[in-house]
């Protein structure tokens, strides 16, 4: 079989490594074998110089004995058993041996003689390295089909009152994030049994105990992570303009971070005919999805924090934790989803913080395209995952609007006028109905209504469900 030369000479990467010959000491490549099995798989190509990429080839007279030696070394050295796929490839009339290692399902894989703690390796940026403590724990859980957030949180207790409080808070959040009045009425109660089924609570020795998910959702984790936010001048981290950290429950951190980004990105205007149309420079629903995904799918075993950074050219969201086995950026763009934190994902889905499984990334791609923005960049690197959403800032279209300069009745946008006319026609109109009529997101509707109230143009009388809007002043 002939290997494409372009493929062969792509250089060493996360999943390709070259060896000029098969070392007598198999330990010199066995670390890479277990690292591939613990990751996304990969190939070791014998017969190519790793420095010059010169095809040296293997001795064809003894090549089958060499293949047997490689197979036996892998079988004898690794635990659990790794079964390589070994083939011969012809390149420039020379024969090389290609050893392909597939992603393993019984992680962690390690070198027997070193033991699990010292003999487990992972692949990072084209190099093989010993596994970090937290990553070994994650590999063990993944190999046993368990989830860190569903594990019992040692040292934390929970009372019936605590459970009732969390259930009520979650339902209130779900209702707040639901669009229509009809859907709000359909939001079901969260009960203790529901929390157990998700993995937020667990049963142990006849008692109800909290899991790590419960601790994170209530802000009581022993090492409760935070979200670090910053605005930088330029396109790197040399000079920061503003910096914030958000604490508390992970869902509160997520919401606070989203509001912070909205405050910092440009809210400008575009003139269409006689009207001024207010809009954010980035699709706000996609911004929210980026932040929510980082909270729901990060590794909570890794001690780092989520970082949200705004540069002149991009919004950057970095979350701890490499992609899980079987997950690739290509699959994610196609809608594939594999939750790292089953309990948190279930809770976030109930609270309408994240959407249906796998729909988030395709929607972000679509909305950025509709906004005329470059395609977002997804980067899996050195144990972290990053999403870059690129900004487009034409000077003639965008200008940052300061709230202190916006509390005037002198400027009425096209959307302001539409909202006022719709309220005039139906003072009891809901935000969901406004969303449908204006063809904007619910986030935009909430912003418009809050802005009109702040400027003294409308006020709410009565409850959120049975009240009505009153127009108290305007200039059109």
For residue 31, the domain's CATH number is 3.30.950.30
Q: Are 256 and 386 found together in one domain? A: yes
Q: Are 233 and 352 found together in one domain? A: yes
Residue 317, domain CATH = 3.30.565.60
Q: What is the pTM of this model?
A: 0.75
Q: Are 418 and 383 found together in one domain? A: no
Q: Are 235 and 380 found together in one domain? A: yes
What pLDDT, in 10s, does the model give residues 371-386? 899 999 999 887 799 9
Q: Are 245 and 377 found together in one domain? A: yes
Structure tokens at 210: 């909290």
pLDDT of res. 476: 40
Q: Which of 146, 177, 197 is where one domain is finished?
A: 146
Instruction: Answer yes or no: is 398 within a domain.
Output: no
Q: Are 339 and 324 found together in one domain? A: yes
Higher pLDDT, 73 or 467: 73
Q: Are 238 and 362 found together in one domain? A: yes
Q: Are 16 and 108 found together in one domain? A: yes
| Residue 179's pLDDT band (cuts 50, 70, 90) | confident
Instruction: Answer yes or no: is 303 within a domain.
Output: yes
Total of domains in the chain: 4
Instruction: Answer yes or no: is 91 within a domain.
Output: yes
Q: Are 57 and 44 found together in one domain? A: yes
| Residue 449's pLDDT band (cuts 50, 70, 90) | confident
Q: Quote the domain boundaries for residue 368.
A: 227-390
| Residue 418's pLDDT band (cuts 50, 70, 90) | confident
Q: Is 378 helix (H, G, I), strand (E, B) or coil?
A: strand
Higher pLDDT, 358 or 407: 358
Structure tokens at 33: 């074998």
Instruction: Answer yes or no: is 476 within a domain.
Output: no
What pLDDT, in 10s, does the model give residues 12-48? 566 899 999 999 999 889 999 999 999 889 999 999 9
Q: Which long-range contacts (CB under 8 A, 24 or more apart) does 362-370 make?
A: 362/333, 362/334, 362/335, 363/285, 363/286, 363/289, 364/283, 364/286, 364/289, 364/290, 364/389, 365/333, 367/283, 367/285, 367/286, 368/283, 368/286, 370/283
Distances (CA, A) of 238 to 232, 233, 235, 387, 474: 8, 8, 9, 20, 45
């Amino acid at each position: 079989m002939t290997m494409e030369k372009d493929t062969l000479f792509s250089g060493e990467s996360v999943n390709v490594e070259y060896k000029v010959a098969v070392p007598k000491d198999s330990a010199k490549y066995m670390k890479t074998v277990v690292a591939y099995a613990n990751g996304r798989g990969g190939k070791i190509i014998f017969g190519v110089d790793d420095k010059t990429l010169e095809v040296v080839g293997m001795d064809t007279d003894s090549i089958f004995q060499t293949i047997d030696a490689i197979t036996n070394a892998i079988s004898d050295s690794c635990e659990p058993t790794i079964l390589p796929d070994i083939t011969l490839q012809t390149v420039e009339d020379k024969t090389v041996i290609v050893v392909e290692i597939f992603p393993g399902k019984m992680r962690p894989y390690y070198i027997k003689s070193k033991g699990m703690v010292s003999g487990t390796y992972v692949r990072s940026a084209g190099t093989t390295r010993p596994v970090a403590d937290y990553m070994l724990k994650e590999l063990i859980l993944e190999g046993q089909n368990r989830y860190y957030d569903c594990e019992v949180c040692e040292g934390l207790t929970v009372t019936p009152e605590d459970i009732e409080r969390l259930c009520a808070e979650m339902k209130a959040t779900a209702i707040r994030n639901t669009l229509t009045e009809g859907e709000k009425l359909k939001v079901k109660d969260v009960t203790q049994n529901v929390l157990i089924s998700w993995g937020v609570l667990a049963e142990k020795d006849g008692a109800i105990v909290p899991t790590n998910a419960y601790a994170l959702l209530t802000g009581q984790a022993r090492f409760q992570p935070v979200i670090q936010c910053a605005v930088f001048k330029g396109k790197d981290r040399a000079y920061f303009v503003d910096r914030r950290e958000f604490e508390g429950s992970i869902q509160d951190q997520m919401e606070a971070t989203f509001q912070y980004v909205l405050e910092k990105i440009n809210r400008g205007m575009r003139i269409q005919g006689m009207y001024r149309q207010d809009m954010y420079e980035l699709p706000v629903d996609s911004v929210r999805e980026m932040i929510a995904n980082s909270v729901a799918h990060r590794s909570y075993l890794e001690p780092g924090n989520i970082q949200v950074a705004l540069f002149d050219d991009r919004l950057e969201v970095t979350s701890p934790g490499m992609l899980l086995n079987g997950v690739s950026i290509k699959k994610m763009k196609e809608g594939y989803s594999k939750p790292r934190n089953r309990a948190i994902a279930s809770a976030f889905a109930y609270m309408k913080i994240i959407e249906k499984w796998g729909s988030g990334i395709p929607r972000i791609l679509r909305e950025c395209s509709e906004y005329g923005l470059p395609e977002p960049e997804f980067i899996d690197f050195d144990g972290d995952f990053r999403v870059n959403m690129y900004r487009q800032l034409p000077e003639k279209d965008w200008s940052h609007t300061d709230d202190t300069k916006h509390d005037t009745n002198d400027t009425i946008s096209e959307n302001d006028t539409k909202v006022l006319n719709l309220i005039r026609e139906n003072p009891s109109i809901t935000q969901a109905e406004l969303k449908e009529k204006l063809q904007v997101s619910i986030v935009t509707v909430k912003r418009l209504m809050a802005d009109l109230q702040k400027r003294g143009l409308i006020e709410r009388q009565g409850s959120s469900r049975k009240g009505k809007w009153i127009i108290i002043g305007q200039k059109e």
